[in-house]
Structure 1
Amino acid sequence: MESSLNSMDLVQFIGKLGDLKDEHYHLTLTLSALIELMIEKELITRRELEGKMSELDQLMIRSPYPMA
């Protein structure tokens, strides 16, 4: 009986993973559309966007905890 429970847990996990992939795709598509519209309307430039992306990426690379 335990192995069938584990199998059902695995099936549910795989289903949830599929749902997350769909949600990730739709969020990425929405974000891409918003960025393109902002660039088309000249609210931001690609250079400004790339600069901000680089700045935020550097913040993520650094450890939030000081090394003693």
Structure 2
Amino acid sequence: MKSENQKLRNYISLVSAEIELKQRITEIKQNFVNLSDSEYIVEPILDRITKINSEKIFLEKELNLS
């Protein structure tokens, strides 16, 4: 049970991080006039979101959330 609670806390943290990163991307795109500049900054954030999604899928399966 303790392990499952930890996994659930990790899942919640991942969801929260994903939301924050998506908000950051929106802010960056609003603040940059030049699209190529914003894409340069946004690319690593999108990579992190992809990793977060992979981790979330793994935890969803382990916790039977999907």
TM-score (norm 2): 0.51
Give the Cα–Cα distance (whole angstroms) in 1 for the partners of residues 27 and 18 of structure 2.
14
Q: Which residue of 1 aligns with 2:30?
A: 40
Give the Cα–Cα distance (whole angstroms) in 2 for the partners of residues 25 and 33 of structure 1.
12
Give the Cα–Cα distance (whole angstroms) in 1 for the partners of residues 38 and 6 of structure 2.
37
Q: How does 1:4-19 map to 2 (within 5 A)?
A: 11-19=1-9
Q: How does 1:1-68 map to 2 (within 5 A)?
A: 11-42=1-32, 44-46=37-39, 48=40, 49-50=42-43, 53=44
Residue-pair matches, total: 41
Measure how far apart 1:19 and its partner are. 0.7
Higher relative contact order (CA 8 A, sep 6+): 2
Moved over 3 A (4+): none
Unaligned runs of 5+ residues in structure 1 are: 1-10, 57-68
Per residue, is there more helix in 1 or in 2? 2
Measure how far apart 1:21 and its partner are. 0.2
C-alpha RMSD over aligned residues:
2.1
Which protein has the larger Cα radius of gyration, Structure 1 or Structure 2? 1
The more displaced of 34-43 and 11-20 is 34-43
Measure how far apart 1:14 and its partner are. 0.3
Give the Cα–Cα distance (whole angstroms) in 2 for the partners of residues 30 and 18 of structure 1.
19
- Percent identity at matched positions? 7
Measure how far apart 1:31 and its partner are. 1.2
